[in-house]
């Protein structure tokens, strides 16, 4: 091995599926200590998945510190990378042994992310997490989609509710006879 070359293990996860290559792909580096921000971004671009996670020792006494990168930038929080990272760490014994369930907390830029990991009877893992804080965007704001009408004959309406949740629904424009 050349002097100065760093080697890091990684795992490719298929999140939200039981079919190989069927879900949201995620790259997880379970021991990313020593990587710079620039190196993390380069590695993420190399995988070219929606997200790549870098697992580091905790800084605030929680289970692990996790950094999430997209090919464009680091993001403070995202759901599927947390689910995939937690399941991968559990499946490979990185969180210690546990019975049917385990509670972990990832330290992220957005804040602590509590995750419950459960082992299913078939051996796979099920994860549930809570966002570090509620998204707050203000009052309801309608977002029209006029171009969709020309493409599909249907109009899609988007609206953000007061809690910041994206609510959408479709209706079909009735043709006059």
Catalytic-residue membership of 107: no
Check: CB of residue 50 under 8 Å from CB of residue 36: no
Check: CB of residue 135 under 8 Å from CB of residue 164: yes
Given 51, 97, 100, 159, which residue is catalytic? 51
Q: How far is CA 153 from CA 13, 96, 123, 159, in A?
A: 38, 54, 46, 20
- Give the catalytic positions in this structure: 51
């Amino acid at each position: 091995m050349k002097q100065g070359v760093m080697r890091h293990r990684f795992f490719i996860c298929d999140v939200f599926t039981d079919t190989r290559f069927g879900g949201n792909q995620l790259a997880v580096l379970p021991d990313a200590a020593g990587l710079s921000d620039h190196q993390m971004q380069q590695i993420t671009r190399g995988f070219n998945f929606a997200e790549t996670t870098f697992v580091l020792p905790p800084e605030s006494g929680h289970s692990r510190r996790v950094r999430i990168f997209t090919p464009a930038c680091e993001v403070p929080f995202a759901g599927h990378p947390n689910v995939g990272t937690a399941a991968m760490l559990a499946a490979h014994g990185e969180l210690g042994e546990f019975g049917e369930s385990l509670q972990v907390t990832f330290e992220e830029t957005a804040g602590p992310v509590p995750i419950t990991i459960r082992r299913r009877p078939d051996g796979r893992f099920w994860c549930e997490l809570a966002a570090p804080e509620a998204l707050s965007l203000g009052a309801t704001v309608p977002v029209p989609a006029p171009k969709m009408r020309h493409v599909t004959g249907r109009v899609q309406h988007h609206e953000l509710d007061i809690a910041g949740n994206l609510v959408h629904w479709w209706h079909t424009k009735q043709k006059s006879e």
